[in-house]
Every structure is written in C-alpha cells, then in structure tokens.
Amino acid sequence: MASTQYIGARYVPLIDGEWDDTKIYEPLTIVTYLNASYTSKQPVPAGVPITDTDYWVLTGNYNGFIQTVNNKVDALSDRVDTVVEYNYQTPAEFTGSTDTEILQNAIDGCDFLVLDRDYTITSVWIRKPIVFNLGGHKITSSTNDDNTINIASSNVAIFNGEIYTTEADISNEHWFGSCIYVRASEDNGFEFGNLKLHDLKLSSNASQTVVLLGEVFNTIVENCIFNGARSNPHPSINAINIEWKHINPSYHPHDIVLRNCSIYNYHVGVRTAAAFNCIFENIYIDESNQGVSITAGDNAADNALAKYKAHVNRNISIKNVAGHNVTVGISLWGISGHTNGEISANVENCRFDADAANNGTGILTNEPYMSHIANCIITGPYLNGMIIRGSDNSVENNFVTGSMNNLINNQGVDSFISNNRVYNGNQAQTSGTTGAAILSSGNRARIVNNIVAGGSAYETFTIRNSGNNSIITNNITFGAVTDVSTGSIVDNNKEI
C-alpha cells in the first residue's frame, strides 16, 4: 500500500551549537555567539554575518546573566579560599591589653572566629559579616551604658556558648544591658538581615536580653535559653524585643523566626512592636508577667515606607507556646486610629496555666483583626480565660477551665466562637454577668457547637449574650442560654 509523507518547513527549532560563518543553516536553527543565542529566520547561506537581521534574530542575550553568575562563582571561590586559608581563628592570635580589646580585634580581624576560653569584657561591636562560634565558652559583661555584643551588620552568626550581662542598674536608659543588640539606626545603617543566633544560653540582670531594633529581617533565633531578672522593677525586662525604629519614615522588623527556646523570669518573654511576618514556635515560658506580647507600636504603620505599609502588624504566627505561672499568656494589643493598628495573628496549640489567682488572662486581645485562636488550653485561676476584642476574629477548638470570672469573654464584633469546651468558671463566686462561662457583648457574634459542661456551682450563666444580631446555636450547655440582645437567633441549644 502506498503512503505519502509531507515534508514542509521546520517547525521544531534545531540547536546547532556555536555559530560558524562557513556553514549553511536551515530556518529555525538556534546558534550561540558571545554568550547570546540567535535564531535563523530563513535559510542562511555561508558567509552571512550573525548581525544581519534579515537572516538572524537575537533570541537570548545572556551576557548580563552569565556575567552575574560568573561574578557569584568568583565570589564563592574567594569565600571558599578564605575558609580553607583561615578556617577558624581564635582571639589568642590577636593582641590587646584587655579581654575587650583582644576580642574586638579578633572580631574585626577575621571572618571565622572561635573562642579559646572564657572572656570578661565591657562591650564589643560586630560591624561586618562573621561566623562567631563561642566554642562552648562564656562571655561575661558588666556594662550598664552599652550592650555585651552590638551587631551593626548583615550576615552574622553567633552560636554555641553563653553570654551573661551582670549589670542591674538600668535607671539611665532601658535600651542598655542586653546580651545581643542588633542596631539598625541612623548611624549604623537601617537594614540588617541574614542573622542567626542559635544554641546559646543568654542571661541578663537588666533590660532586654536580645533586641532586634529597626529593619532587621531574615533572622532566626533558635535553640536558646533565656534567663532574666523578673525581680528587677523596670517594666522593660524582656527576653527578646523585636522593635520598630522610632523615626520618620519608620523602619520595621520582619521575617523573624524564634523557635525551640526556653524563657525564665521576665516581665515579658517575647515582645514585638510594629513587626510583621514573624513566627514564634516551640517556646516554653516560666514565671513571667506576659508570655508573648504582640503590640502595634505607638504609630503602627503611619510612617512606614510605602512598600511596607500594608504589611506592618500582619502575619504573626504563634504556635506551640507553653507558659507556666504567666499572668497574661498571649497579648495581641492593637491600637485604633492608626494605619494597620490592628494585629492580625494566628495562635495555635498553645497552653498556659496559673497556680495562683491573679488578675491576668490566658489570651488577651485588643483591636485584633481577622486573628485566629485555635486548639489552645487555658487552665488555672486566671481572672478571665480569654478576652476577645476587635473584629472578624475566630476562637475555635479551645479548652478553657478554672477562671475566676468568665472563661471566654467576647467583646469583639463579628466574632466566630465555635467548638470550644469550657467549664468550671466563676471561681470568684460572683453574681450577675461576670459569672457567665461564655459572655458575649459584641454584635453579630456566631457562637456555635460549643460544650459548656461540668460547670462550677457558682456560674450564674453558661452563655450570656447581649450583642445584637448574633447567632447562638447547637451548643451543649450546663444551664440555660440567656439572650438580652436585639435581633439575635438562639436555637437548637441543648441544656443538660
């Protein structure tokens, strides 16, 4: 049987290597010349220059890209040569009359530094990239007008040792006395990134143990132990403070990760002010006034750079944080009347307990927006288990018990409260609205599928709603649901 085969113009390009002016090329042939690619538009006779646009079209100018790659490879080669040539150096290789001078000269003089012994210093500065291995040793500082290690550079790693700041006099300025202080400022530059602090024991008698100030970004703090001085009356005793720079335009820390850390004896364990894109996970906090405090900053995003205005106070993730004897477990404290003054956070799998009655709250929110609180456990005699303010927030799948007054107190608008188990509230034995297990005064709340069971004999109400146009349905309750609002729907609740 006869068959025919159509042979027409090429429609699949032919790749033919480096251009040769002595060759004849078919249409749609791709060649390279001086790190660029050219494609033939029609049959090309021998001897036609590559620049003849009747025959050739430039289809890929890779000169700039190739040069960039070459530059990076050269830089990496130089870096590898540096590693091979220097490896780790020790401070013993540098001169100085004091430990401070020796350590400062070593930091200034090498890229890879490992301690050979313990050092007692006043303060040192890191102003260039460095890998700083403490070698299992300890740096002790007794300064009260500076910080043990000041960082004014990107690409810094500090790890494997202990830093102890002994000075307790912070009456002059609460920004001094830190173990590690990253200073993005007018004098040092506004943006420092790619920092890593890990496997450290950090102890401070005063002020804030670690400070990330200004536009500090792409920073990881992990596998660290923080020891503080909660007995010091100064209110700014923080384990780590992630703080915006108070200038116009304002600079804001972002893309910060704090994980796998233990925090003991602080007024505040973890504090942020006007930061964004932060992750706090796998953290244990003991004996602190506040566990995690997320604040909006004095002016929120009012003065932020245009590229960051929409991001400040957004995308905060708090997961797997546990606190014992913490007066306020997690605080999301926004401010009204400012750009992005509301806090947007995701809080999951956290647990807080109190051994003794206090005026605190397991989870306290003020002006949060579209925040999500889920799978948390709040136990012990807090004044209130949770207080929810703001708008469009969800509280789901939490277990709350043992509060002095309300277990969940919703004051927010458009809140969604569902699938929570709450019981044994009103341990203060008060009467009236303060005795409700779930107390809701915010309009348009959705309170559904909660179990309010095994309640204290002192609870006046299981669920009490005064927020208008709310929906309260499909809840299982120890006592009757009370609604004193206008326009709300209350149905399908089961009283046991």
Q: Which residues pair with 490 in a beta bridge?
A: 472
- pLDDT confidence of residue 232: 61
Give the pLDDT of residue 256. Answer: 94
CA distances from 458 to 67, 379, 410, 464 (A): 76, 17, 20, 15
Please tell me the predicted confidence (pLDDT) of residue 248: 76
pLDDT, residue 80, reads 43
| Greatest Cα-to-Cα distance within the chain, rounded to the nearest angstrom | 103
Phi first, then psi, for residue 181 (nearest 5°) are -130, 115
In 274-315, beta strands by DSSP E: 276-295
What is the structure's pLDDT at 458? 56
CA atoms in the 13 A half-sphere facing the CB of 410: 32
| pLDDT for the residue numbered 459 | 56
Low-confidence ranges of the chain (pLDDT < 50): 1-12, 62-66, 68-70, 72-73, 76-77, 79-86, 172-173, 235
- Cβ 273 vs Cβ 296: under 8 Å: yes
Looking at residue 381, its pLDDT comes to: 81
For 106-122, the pLDDT digits (tens) are 999 999 999 999 999 99
237 phi/psi in degrees, rounded to 5:
-85, 90
Q: Apex CA 116: angle with CA 114 and CA 119, to 5°? A: 100
Element (H, E) at 492: none
Contact status, residue 244 vs residue 272, Cβ threshold 8 Å = no
Class of domain 14-84: mainly beta
**Residue in 299, 176, 310 with CA at minimum distance from that of residue 246:** 299
Q: List the CATH code of the domain at 96-495.
A: 2.160.20
Q: Could you state, in order of their start, the residue ranges of all structural domains in the chain?
A: 14-84, 96-495
Supply the pLDDT for residue 59: 60
**Residue 401 and residue 351: Cα distance in Å, rounded?**
12
Residue 206 CA to residue 142 CA, distance in Å, equals: 11
How confident is the model at residue 112, as a pLDDT? 95
Angle at 150 between CA 149 and CA 153, to 5 degrees: 125
CB 163 within 8 A of CB 198: no
Structure tokens that stand for 312 in this block: 């400040």
Q: Is 66 helix (H, G, I), strand (E, B) or coil?
A: helix
User: Would you give the DSSP letter of residue 55?
Assistant: T
